[in-house]
Amino acid sequence: MKCKIMHESKGRMRVRFCMKRMTMKQADTAEYSLSVIAGVTRVQVFERTCDIIIAYTCPREDIIRRLSTFSFDDVENIVPERTGRELNKQYEEKLAAVVIGRLVNKLIVPLPVRRVMAFIRAAKYIFRGLKCLLKGKLEVSVLDATAIGVSLLRGDFKTAGSVMFLLNVGDILDEWTHRKSVDDLARTMSLGVEQVWAESADGQEVLMPVNEVSKGDKIVVRTGSMIPLDGKVISGDAMVNQASMTGESVPVHKSEGAYVYAGTVVEDGECTVIVENTVGGGRYDRIVKMIEESEKLKSAAEDKASHLADKLVPWSLGGTLLTWLITRNATKALSILMVDFSCALKLAMPISVLSAMRDCSRAGITVKGGRFLEAVAEADTIVFDKTGTLTHSTPKVAKVIAFGGRDENEMLRLAACLEEHYPHSIANAVVADAADKGLEHEEFHSKVEYVVAHGISSTIDGEKVLIGSHHFIIEDENCSEPDDERYRDLPAEYSHLYLAIGGEVAAVICIEDPLRKEAADVISKLHEYGISKVVMMTGDNERTARAVAEKVGIDEYHAEVLPEDKAAFIRVEREAGRKVVMIGDGVNDSPALSEADAGIAISSGAAIAREIADIAISADDLYALVELKRLSNALMNRIHRNYRTIIGFNGGLIGLGVLGVLPPATSALLHNASTLAIGLRSMTEL
């Protein structure tokens, strides 16, 4: 693709494609294909001018090389189903039409025609106000109707026109904010499933890319995994979390003949599904409908703003009447009507939340609603899972210790065969180590059963095979321990995964799970940002838990806990009046994530954890958690500042109007100008 560099500075380049105009699809293709270059931090494409702004930290030559070889035809399909570009364009054009129409009306349309048009446009607002009164309510629409109606009756068409214009602009911005919030949220709830277990004609399970699955293929989905495609269950039983589709908080039982949807998650059990729709069957539209029917997006601050605006209406109307009775001056009384608090309160708050969600997205943080940012801002307690959270999400196998003359590689091969079916960081480590050593295997075990927070059970050649924690293997399953010095002196610096065959421990896999180097600094910064209590809960033994807690500065820790123990702890803390945030990455963290005021999942963790969690952060490092807390605090500070500014400024306008210093038209102009100014300020980065 031919292009010209229009402007360049350190780490930033503006280029122009040599073409008349881009389609929105071409603009999205250019944006997403350039964004995947390592070192590119931001790409902004303007389809009308064919300009592209690229911010980068990589060598300049990498950008030039990619631009020189770029072609719309050669780029793979990396653009999501919806990107938000079309939505933004729709509202940009709608807003531009209103502004241009206002200018044309003032400069070209004759005065008598403008007056007739003012009455026609006013009918909409007056009808809204009357409808509200007939329902026995005094809300903002009554105030708007009164202000516009009184202005028209007094012959003040200029003031009436200005009020209606700015109300129209406010309605468009408010609708745009809501639609964009819903669109952004729906797109962040994308599947993220790249591979799936497919059942071949001979009954064998084969791991294959999800985009190679065809209609009529059979796929197997187990505990903790997301269902990647729509289809019908042909065998098995599973409890499926359908919150992303229906909003239901309780998992639904699915058995033979039941229909399952892409994006839902198997909480317990497993099922074989025959695929009926390879594109998700309108998943985006179902998500949008679910969000719009819920109050998920609204924070308490947004609700408070909306209700406060309505509560102030009777006071505004009462003040108007009282001023007229005392002064008998309609101009002074009208000055109060010209200044209502609703526009700024109802516009600035959702825009502030949207801006915070946008800033979070840029920092690799996905937030499913404004109220969760508010919960993080108010949180005084944070509960960490250890494995995959305080430690790296990619632990490694340090060594395999086999007993009873068994071969270490064969034990690792068997462990990988069992573990590859279930998404967990330790399971991934076992599978990865077997692959690195070239230990390939075929499925030779019977049905695999996953026992949450304990381990895996199966049968091979008539013998029961178990893999999991010491508690599961020794205490729950009563497997015999080997009389071996190596078993008694297992290295304390590692986590241990026990493999038992036929009722006796056959091997112990030592997992190296190093702490994240930033963990201690992150916890220190969380304390600085207002977190007074940091808790770690882990299934590891007391000795390991204590050592980790001391290293990273944990205030309180609990060892050898089960999923229900984590959830119970959070419930007790909340009942004590504390605001609790939970962060985890595994299937066993799901109950606690649901119980917390805000559940935070590591993006590389189990699908069910990401689905249940309210927020997902990048797995790269835990500093994203600090940034989340900073942005949440900054959002609430901005909202409180907006409250003070709106109440103070508009209250001053009312006072000046009553004193006769400001005429109604000037009050309306200053009020609406301040509303737009606060709205624009609320859109800036936190």
DSSP code per residue over 254-282: E-TT-EE-TT-EEEEEEEEEEEEETT-SS
Reduced 3-state DSSP string for 391-455: ECCCCEEEEEEECCCCCHHHHHHHHHHHHCCCCCHHHHHHHHHHHHCCCCCCCCCCCCEEECCCE
Rounded Cα distance between 576 and 574, Å, is 5
Beta pairing partners, 274: 218, 232
* Catalytic residue of the set 268, 385, 513, 614: 385
DSSP 389: I
Beta pairing partners, 205: 199
| Buried residues in 283-306 as b, exposed as e (16+ CB within 10 A) | bbebbbbbbeeeebbbbebbeebb
Where does 440-562 have alpha helices with state H?
470, 485-488, 519-528, 542-552
Rounded Cα distance between 540 and 154, Å, is 77
The residues, any chain, with a CB within 8 Å of residue 668's CB and separated by 6 or more, are: 147, 159, 162, 163, 166, 338, 339
Beta pairing partners, 232: 259, 274
Take residue 318 and report the two structure tokens written for it: 């009462």
Exposed, middle or buried, 100 (CB in 10 Å: 0-12/13-18/19+)?
A: exposed
Number of residues that make up the chain: 686
| Whether 639 contacts 301, CB under 8 Å | yes
Three-state DSSP class for residue 460: strand
| Whether 121 contacts 164, CB under 8 Å | yes
Of 296, 317, 309, the residue nearest 243 (C-alpha): 296
For residue 638, give Cα distances in angstroms to 304, 635, 642: 15, 5, 6
Beta pairing partners, 252: 240
Of 526, 529, 498, 525, the residue nearest 511 (C-alpha): 498
Residue 401 amino acid letter: I
> Catalytic annotation on 217?
no
Cβ atoms within 10 Å of 5's Cβ, excluding its own: 12
Rounded Cα distance between 332 and 656, Å, is 9
Three-state DSSP class for residue 230: strand
- What is the gyration radius of the CA atoms in the chain, in angstroms? 30
Q: Which residues are catalytic?
A: 385
